[in-house]
Each structure stands twice: as C-alpha cells, then as structure tokens.
Amino acid sequence: MFISMLVFQLSGALLLLLNCIKSGKESVIKNCFPGSNVVERDENNNCKIPKEKLQESAHKIYLNIVAFVDLVIGYLFAAFSPTADVQIELVLAKVIVATVILLVLEYYFSYFCAKRIYAKDISVPFDELEGVDTTVTKQEIEDLFKNI
C-alpha cells in the first residue's frame, strides 16, 4: 500500500512537472495577457511585450516548476523514510524550519532567473499571439482615410 501511494503521488507530480516545462517561452508570453488581452502593434505588425510583464509571468511559471520538482523529490525521499518511532514535535519543528528556508531560497532563485532570462522587452509578431486582441495602428487609420 505504501508503494502504491508513492507511485501515484510521484506519477502525478511528474505529469504536472512535464506539463509546466514543455510550454516554455510560449507560456511566458501567453501569461502576459490575462484579463484584457489587448496589445498594441507597430507598423510591422509586431507587439512589444515589456520586460516587467515577461519577468512576472516567468517568475510564476518557474515557481510552479520548482514546486513540482519539490514534490517529486519529497516523494522519492518518502521511500527512504524511517519506520521507527521518533519525537513527532522535533520532526515537525525541523520540517517547518527547513520548509521556510527552502521556500525563501526557491522564491528568490526563480525571481532571479526570470530577471536574467527576460532582461529586455521582446517583440513578437501579432500573428503568433493566440487569444489576444489589438487596437488599430496609426498607419491603418491613415490608410483608411486615404481611401475615402
């Protein structure tokens, strides 16, 4: 029964981890447009995504990846857990302290990675953005009035 529990938990964590990792840059860009989903285009039909939005989006995705890695490692360690009686209070205190330290380290590590990888604004062709609307460009307005 113990092995079955670990197998299902580990399988679930690995599936979620693989799902997070496979999307990469596309997910970071897609998550930059929650809610309004409106972006401005330039004359070349490209959209500029500010680095701050990219970094925030990447940070969230990296935190999810790290969380799933933590789950996988935790489930693997559970296979080696001792079955002897131990002081529950001492174990609980160690778990709480170690968890807080690990959370702080992983939070700032993912934040640092997001800042490094997305240090600049990027320009993406509007045609590559799914589920995003745009406004009319100045050139399109001028072209419209030229035809009248």
| Residue 116's pLDDT band (cuts 50, 70, 90) | very high
Return the percentage of the chain with pLDDT > 90, whole number: 5
DSSP state of 135: P
Closest by CA position to 28, among listed 114, 100, 96, 99: 114
Q: Tokens 């072209």 sit at which residue?
A: 143
Residue 72 has pLDDT above 70, yes or no: yes
Residue type, 86: V
Note the pLDDT of residue 26.
Answer: 76
Report long-range pairs for 82-90 (Cβ below 8 Å, ≥24 apart): none
| Choice between 145 and 63, residue whose per-residue pLDDT is larger | 63
End-to-end CA gap in the chain: 77
